[in-house]
Amino acid sequence: MVEAPAALEPRTLAGVLARCARRHGVPGAQLAVHQDGRTVTAEFGEVEHGTGRPVTADTAFPVGSVTKAFTAAVVLALAAEGDLELDEPVGVHVPGLPAAAAAVTIGQLLSHTGGLPCGPAPEQVAGLSVRGYLRQAVRPDVMVLPPGGGFSYSNVGYVLLGEVVSGITGMSWAEAVTAVLLRPLGTSTDLIGAGFAGSGRPIASGHSRHRSTGRVRPVRQCLVTAEAAAGALALSAADLVTFGRLHIGDGIPDVLPAGHAARMREVVPGAVPFGLARGWGLGLAAFGETPYRWFGHDGNADGTDCHLRIEPAAGRVVALTAGIGAGSGMWAELTAELRGLGIPLDDGLPQGDAWPAAATDCVGTYRNGDLTYEVLPGGPYGLRFRVDGEDAEPLVLGADLTFYLRDDSSDRWTVGGRFVRENCRGPVNAVQVGGRIGRRCAEALI
């Protein structure tokens, strides 16, 4: 008979968090684990580096794209009330969209299979209203795939969902997510962006670290206000656990019926979020191998790194908030330590050696809306990779067209994305980076 692991104690969890945070130079962080009907939390470090103000269980961290899971839950709650259908076109609720964007269904927006771009550069849309933002972001010429044609991670899709929520409820997205979800869950309302009133709780700073000197500096949150539905929430790890409990057992039916919570986890055929997860449902990613046991979402705001994982069958939720963009290193190390404590976290992302291969047909320019990826010849391994004109970094190409980049936080090669061939055997016509599809520019195929 296998002996059940001992109950997780706060001191043990605090030790795990402190070791991982110190090794990765994280100024402040929180870790929360819910299992066996009990939530254990741990905190480490400072709200802002050098201030001496300690992180507490109540400190809110900007959670970036984890916000999308909350927006999705509000949409599913409205579906449960009969206010919308998941397979109806978004144009039913958001008038004035170009035909291609108006035809995308609400379910496709939730699962990032609507073919929309990631989003405009912040300087192009700073200060614009949501409608002004959408005029820039849903032009026919920036669509990256036909609706339903595949997975491409999109902030624009969640801005549209925020407009759907506003149109149905008669409230702004911020008011609706508060009234429909946060307040019923007992969570304070904190949003990053101009014009949002906070709850008064402390909000942790994001931080950057200089690659050469190791110097840590606070950074300012600069989320475009129009993208609030895609990334504006600031929450604690304990808040994320509370949200995750919507997916355990009968959940919290007064907030989101269990059947509709399950829809968030139903993996959509053809949604292949390479480099992010193994699959994607209507708001949550699926991790590990099939049958999927773990679901959740990751998020990075300006200088923060946050992770939510839910194991519905076992009644577990794990949440990390960290006040530095630590990349994959801290989370990978933390999950390994938690596995040693009997919490079988499994992200199941591609791993392995990088086997160099000659692939001059990958050289070229790729675009996702206004975002540009360039693959250039040169460097120690034959290829270099550049995003939006920034410094190019060495790229190592695998024989299966997966490519690897150096992760500064762990000083190891990690999966950066993959190149995609037309009809599997034709020329390379796309690149997928962080779940975002970049279509190869036509001149590169001549």
Helix (H, G, I), strand (E, B) or coil at 269: coil
Structure tokens at 410: 């762990």
Q: Is residue 273 part of a domain?
A: yes
Residue 442 has pLDDT above 80, yes or no: no
Question: Which of 87-91, 140-144, 377-381 shows the highest mean pLDDT?
Answer: 87-91
Is 429 part of any domain? yes
pLDDT at 31: 98
The dihedral formed by the CA atoms of 152, 158, 159 and 164, expressed in degrees to the nearest 10: 130
Mark whether 251 and 371 lie in a shared domain.
no
**Same structural domain for residues 39 and 104?**
yes
For residue 173, what are the CA distances in angstroms to 79, 158, 428?
16, 11, 40
Q: What mean pLDDT is predicted for residues 337-365?
A: 75
Q: Residue 399 belongs to what domain range? A: 360-445
The verdict on 279 and 316 lying in the same domain is yes
Among 307, 326, 349, identify where a domain stops.
Answer: 349
Residue 77 domain-assigned (yes or no): yes
pLDDT-based confidence at 329, cuts 50/70/90? Answer: confident
Q: pLDDT band for position 352 (50/70/90)?
A: very low
Number of domains in the chain: 2
| Residue 427 pLDDT greater than 50, yes or no | yes
Q: For residue range 79-120, list pLDDT tens digits in order.
A: 999 999 999 999 999 999 999 999 999 999 999 999 999 998
d(CA 65, CA 57): 21
In 16-120, DSSP assigns E strands to 28-35, 38-45, 61-62
CATH of the domain at 156: 3.40.710.10
Domain identity same for 344 and 268: yes
Cβ–Cβ < 8 Å for 215, 118: no
Higher pLDDT, 50 or 424: 50
Higher pLDDT, 104 or 413: 104
In Å, what is the CA distance from 313 to each residue of 123, 235, 310, 336? 44, 25, 9, 21
Find out whether 164 and 106 touch, Cβ atoms under 8 Å.
yes
Q: What is the distance between the alpha carbons of residues 14 and 30, in angstroms, rounded to a whole number?
A: 9
3 in any annotated domain: no
Higher pLDDT, 121 or 144: 144
Whether residues 285 and 400 share a domain: the answer is no
- Asked if residue 149 lies in contact with residue 113, where contact means CB atoms within 8 angstroms, the answer is yes
Over residues 182-231, the pLDDT tens digits come to: 999 998 878 887 556 667 889 999 999 877 777 899 999 888 999 999 99
User: Of residues 49 and 214, which shows the higher confidence score?
Assistant: 49
Decide: pTM greater than 0.85: yes
What's residue 351's pLDDT? 47
pLDDT at position 195, please?
59
Asked if residues 54 and 203 have their Cβ atoms less than 8 Å apart, the reply is no
| Whether 311 and 381 share a structural domain | no
Task: Tell me what the pLDDT averaged over the chain comes to.
Answer: 90
> Do 40 and 174 have their domain in common?
yes
16 has a pLDDT exceeding 60: yes
Any residues with CB less than 8 A from the CB of 109 and at least 6 apart, and which? 90, 116, 154, 157, 158, 160, 161
Band the pLDDT of 256: cuts 50, 70, 90.
Answer: very high
Per-residue pLDDT at 434 exceeds 60: yes
pLDDT at 201: 87
In a domain, 303, yes or no: yes
Per-residue pLDDT, averaged over 142-147, amounts to 93
Would you state the structure tokens that stand for residue 428, as one six-digit string? 């390379």
39 and 165 both lie in a single domain = yes
Q: Which of 65, 42, 22, 1 is nearest to 338 (CA)?
A: 42
Average pLDDT on 363-383 reads 92
The dihedral through the CA atoms of 60, 63, 68, 72 has a sign that is: negative
Q: How confident is the model at residue 326 (pLDDT cuts 50, 70, 90)?
A: low
Percent of the chain clearing pLDDT 70 (strictly above): 92
Q: Are residues 339 and 364 in the same domain?
A: no
Q: Which of 303, 324, 349 is at the close of a domain?
A: 349
What pLDDT sits at residue 445?
44
Residue 355 is assigned to a structural domain of this protein: no
Do 257 and 379 share a structural domain?
no
Spell out the residues 6+ positions from residue 356 whose beta carbon is closer than 8 angstroms to its own.
381, 382, 396, 397
The pLDDT tens digits of the residues spanning 50-68 come to 999 999 999 999 999 999 9
Average pLDDT over residues 135-142: 92
pLDDT band at 3 (very low <50, low <70, confident <90, very high): very low
The last residue of one of the domains, among 349, 374, 407, is 349
d(CA 180, CA 256) in angstroms, rounded, equals 9
Both 49 and 71 in a single domain?
yes
DSSP symbols for 160-215: HHHHHHHHHHSS-HHHHHIIIIIHHHT----B-STT----SS-BPPEEEE-TTT--
Strands (E), 323-358: none
What pLDDT was estimated at residue 194? 59
Q: Are strands 428-433 and 412-421 parallel, antiparallel or unpaired?
A: antiparallel
- Do 155 and 231 touch, CB atoms closer than 8 A? yes
Beta pairing partners, 396 = 404
Question: At 256, which amino acid appears?
Answer: L
Query: Do 178 and 97 lie in a common domain?
Result: yes
